[in-house]
C-alpha cells in the first residue's frame, strides 16, 4: 500500500495534488462534477483587499501547447470572500484551503493576508508577488529581492499560519529572490507564476489581448518551471509547491523529483475539469510502477 501523503509546514495533505489559484474559482463549479475532497487541497481565486473588475476583454488567447491570460485579478474583494465564498465552501469541502493573496501596495498585502489568516478554513497563505508595486514605479514586487523580502516580512508579522510566497518566473535569477524570501521568514515557496508573452492577430494587425501582453501557462512552460524548481531547491531549505504546465501524474512525480513537496495544476483544469481527480487516481499506480512507497521519499530525489 503506497502512501501519497505530503506535509506543508505541519499541514498534512492526503496527496500533493492542488488546483492552482485562478483556475478553480472557489471550488463550487468543480464540486458539481466530482467530490473535490479527493484533492490534497486547492488554492482559491486570487483575492485583493477591494473588489476588482479586471482587465478589458479579450483576456484569453490560445497558443501552441498553452494559453495566454490577462484577466487582471478580477475578484469580489476580501470581505465578500469571507462573508460569502468561505461559508458556501463549507457545504462541499471539508478540508482547509490555500488563500491566495494579491496586492498593489505593501499595506494591501498585509491587510488582506491578516483578514484571511483569521479564517478557520484557511490552512496556508499564498502571497502572489507578481503584482505591480504602485508605489514603486509599477515594477513587480517579485522581480526585486529587496521588495520580495519586504512583502514577506510584513505579511509574516500579521499571520499565524504558514506563509508561502508565489514567485514570478520573469526574472534572471529566481533562486536569489527565493532565498531573500526565506531570509525574511517565508515558510515556503510557490512557483512558478505565468511567463510573460503575447500574440498578434495578423489580419487585424493588432495584439490579440486588450492588455497587449499576458501570462503564458500550459504544457509549454513545464520544462521552464521544472528548471526553476530545481534551482530554488538547491538554494533554500523550505518547502516548494511546484507548478507550471503540470497535466499528468507523471508530471507530478517529475516535479517532486526536482524538489517540490506538493504540486499545483493550473491551465489543465480549463482543458479538462476532471484532470486533478484523474491525477489523484493515477498516482498510486504510478508509484507502484516506479517502486515508490512514500511520496515524501522522492522530494528532491533527482538531486541525490
pLDDT of 198-227, one tens digit each? Answer: 999 999 999 999 999 999 999 999 999 999
Residue 133, pLDDT score? 65
3-class DSSP assignment, residue 52: strand
Q: What are phi and psi of 241, to 5 degrees?
A: -100, 115
Residue 140, pLDDT score? 85
pLDDT digits (tens, 9 = 90+) for 83-135: 999 999 999 999 999 999 999 999 999 999 999 999 999 999 999 998 766 67
**CA–CA separation, 287 and 49 (whole Å):** 42
Residue 136, pLDDT score? 65
Question: Which domains are assigned to the chain?
Answer: 6-52+74-195+218-303 (3.20.20.70)
**Four-residue CA torsion sign, 260, 102, 141, 180:** negative
**Whose CA is closest to 147, among 119, 177, 120?**
177
Residue 201, pLDDT score? 96
Residue 164, pLDDT score? 98
Residue 161, pLDDT score? 98
**Four-residue CA torsion sign, 136, 141, 144, 149:** positive
**Whose CA is closest to 56, among 214, 170, 181, 173?**
214
**Four-residue CA torsion sign, 134, 139, 143, 145:** negative
3-class DSSP assignment, residue 231: helix
Tell me which residues are annotated as active site: 131
pLDDT along the chain (304 residues), means of 10: 97 98 97 98 97 95 94 96 98 98 95 98 96 68 95 98 97 98 98 96 97 95 98 98 98 98 98 98 98 98 96
**CA–CA separation, 185 and 150 (whole Å):** 10
**CA–CA separation, 99 and 21 (whole Å):** 9
Q: What are phi and psi of 287, to 5 degrees?
A: -60, -45
**CA–CA separation, 142 and 82 (whole Å):** 26
**CA–CA separation, 27 and 44 (whole Å):** 7
Residue 131, pLDDT score? 75
3-class DSSP assignment, residue 282: helix
Amino acid at each position: 500500500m503506497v502512501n501519497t501523503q505530503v506535509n506543508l509546514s505541519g499541514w498534512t495533505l492526503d496527496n500533493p495534488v492542488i488546483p492552482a489559484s485562478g483556475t478553480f474559482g472557489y471550488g463550487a463549479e468543480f464540486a458539481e462534477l466530482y467530490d473535490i475532497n479527493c484533492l490534497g487541497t486547492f488554492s482559491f481565486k486570487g483575492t485583493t483587499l477591494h473588489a476588482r473588475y479586471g482587465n478589458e476583454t479579450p483576456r484569453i488567447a490560445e497558443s501552441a501547447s498553452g494559453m495566454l491570460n490577462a484577466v487582471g485579478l478580477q475578484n469580489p474583494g476580501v470581505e465578500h470572500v469571507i462573508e460569502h465564498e468561505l461559508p458556501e465552501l463549507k457545504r462541499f469541502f471539508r478540508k482547509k484551503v490555500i488563500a491566495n493573496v494579491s496586492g498593489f501596495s505593501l499595506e494591501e498585502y498585509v491587510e488582506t493576508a491578516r483578514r484571511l489568516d483569521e479564517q478557520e478554513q484557511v490552512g496556508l497563505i499564498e502571497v502572489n508577488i507578481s503584482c505591480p508595486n504602485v508605489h514603486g514605479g509599477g515594477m513587480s514586487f517579485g522581480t526585486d529581492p529587496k521588495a520580495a523580502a519586504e512583502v514577506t516580512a510584513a505579511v509574516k508579522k500579521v499571520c499565524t499560519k504558514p506563509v508561502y510566497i508565489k514567485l514570478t518566473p520573469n526574472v534572471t535569477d529566481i533562486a536569489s529572490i527565493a532565498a531573500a524570501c526565506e531570509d525574511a521568514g517565508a515558510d515556503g515557496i510557490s512557483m512558478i507564476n505565468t511567463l510573460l508573452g503575447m500574440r498578434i492577430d495578423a489580419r487585424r494587425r493588432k495584439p490579440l489581448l486588450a492588455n497587449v501582453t499576458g501570462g503564458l501557462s500550459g504544457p509549454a512552460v513545464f520544462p521552464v518551471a521544472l528548471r526553476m524548481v530545481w534551482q530554488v531547491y538547491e538554494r533554500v531549505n523550505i518547502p516548494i509547491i511546484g507548478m507550471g504546465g503540470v497535466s499528468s501524474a507523471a508530471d507530478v512525480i517529475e516535479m517532486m523529483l526536482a524538489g517540490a513537496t506538493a504540486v499545483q495544476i493550473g491551465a489543465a483544469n480549463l482543458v479538462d475539469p476532471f484532470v486533478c481527480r484523474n491525477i489523484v487516481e493515477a498516482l498510486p499506480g504510478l508509484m507502484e510502477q516506479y517502486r515508490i512507497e512514500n511520496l515524501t521519499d522522492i522530494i528532491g530525489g533527482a538531486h541525490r
